[in-house]
Structure 1
């Protein structure tokens, strides 16, 4: 009975074919992503500027309160939510590819997608990971630096970079953060672009994403490092560079997704 059910499900939901990708695909995706950004830079800067504003507000809150030790974990943790906040860019990329109007208002079309509930399901997983990361960062700081909270950025930096406890915290914190980042990369690398593009459930999209990660692990990890470096560069000048980096990465992620899976294996998502 169980075998019959498994066979029936396999026939109804055949596995999505996954391509092998290389570093050349990453380069091509980034080039196409930047070209797409240049073609619609006015619209995309308008949308992308929302994220620097959010980052500045969050940083102001942290720097002005007792949460100074969480500033770096917050900045790093926001990248865990990147695949979700880029869903609108995936939609713009899809429309541009299909020859449809890709003005900035269509960024919000994902809210009207028949797959919106599945997109938000994956988003809730990323949000839970983000919350768990922030909790882990707080615990790591408390273990190594104690309960006392520095009163100024200078005092905080001194305590972190001039003590053995501070360096131990940096090492452990980065290793734990790396584990969270790899988990998010595996789950969302393909799943969110697929949910924007195709009529597929969240579970199947996540499974396909993990399979694509496992098949192309070295390349996908290289992609993750590339994303992290570009986000760090974009965030350095008061988060302002994210207005360019985020749209470019959103488009590039779409192009990498289209090179990773055989999209014809899945039906298109229903659209309003």
Structure 2
């Protein structure tokens, strides 16, 4: 097990990637490239993107079956907290396209044989923990506002939400605290998993690199977070089906954003 590593790269010397300054034009170009890559193979990426609407539908069914309507929005919105890990096969498609390798959809799942997969899984576990804590906080906010228990139907819950002072308070505090969770995940994960897929630097170095990218480009990364949130909302509106397109496009765009924000070994690419 001497070769096993998670936090850092397996070498004797730490591989600390150099980061670049990026601007809004880079975000636009990353989205353009993401759309281009999706359009080249929409059937493959739509297949991968269906993970999101299917999981979202399952979450909706679960919440309705358990009278957990207050958790429906936190479940769907918080699902984005683990999105960077679930987009892993899409990043792999981008990487393989860049290297001129086979890009058949089955090849995307070769990512699970990556030498850095233990580090990627560790980052994924952190995202899952953040998602779980967010749900616990959301439940606490609801019970602190309305008391224990759940509304019997979605209609009752919506009436409470939009027609009572408690509902207004719930929306304000829920969105503010949710924004804090989203900002923390964005800052630490914006390039973490693409970096690990590209270079086996270890989970700690990947997260540190994401933080450095965010600190160097705070307004640009904040704008990227707004763009991602807006596109996910657009994808959610048509019964989550739009996510089958939005998620693959964002996955590809995230890979290209990583390429713009992190200098590859040996200099500019």
Deviations along 1:144-201, whole A, 9 cap, x unmatched?
1111321111110010111111101110011110010011011111111000111211
| Map 1:177-256 → 2, pairs under 5 A | 177-256=178-257
Deviations along 1:4-46, whole A, 9 cap, x unmatched?
xxxxxxx922632111000000000000000100001011111
Matched position secondary structure for 2:212: helix
Please give the alpha-carbon distance, in whole angstroms, between the structure 1 residues aligned to 2:142 and 2:39: 42
Residue number in structure 1 paired with 2:8: none
1:258 aligns to 2:259 (yes or no):
yes
Deviations along 1:218-249, whole A, 9 cap, x unmatched?
10011011001101110111110011001000
Q: What runs of 5+ residues in structure 1 fail to find an aligned partner?
A: 1-10, 267-272
Q: What displacement does 1:265 show? A: 5.4
TM-score, with normalisation over the residues of structure 1? 0.91
In the alignment, is the contact (CA less than 8 A) between 2:48 and 2:90 conserved in 1? Answer: no
Please give the alpha-carbon distance, in whole angstroms, between the structure 1 residues aligned to 2:143 and 2:23: 41
Residue number in structure 2 paired with 1:45: 46
In the alignment, is the contact (CA less than 8 A) between 2:22 and 2:220 conserved in 1? Answer: yes
CA separation of 1:264/1:63 partners in 2, compared to 1, >3 Å: closer, same or farther?
Answer: same
Q: What displacement does 1:88 show? A: 1.1
Q: Once superposed, what is the RMSD of the aligned Cα atoms?
A: 1.3
1:153 aligns to 2:157 (yes or no):
no
In the alignment, is the contact (CA less than 8 A) between 1:115 and 1:199 conserved in 2? Answer: yes
Residue number in structure 2 paired with 1:5: none
Residue number in structure 2 paired with 1:135: 136
- Matched positions, count: 256
Matched position secondary structure for 1:66: coil
Q: What displacement does 1:100 show? A: 1.2
TM-score, with normalisation over the residues of structure 2? 0.92
Q: What runs of 5+ residues in structure 2 fail to find an aligned partner?
A: 1-11
In the alignment, is the contact (CA less than 8 A) between 1:191 and 1:202 conserved in 2? Answer: yes
Q: What displacement does 1:108 show? A: 1.0
Residue number in structure 2 paired with 1:98: 99
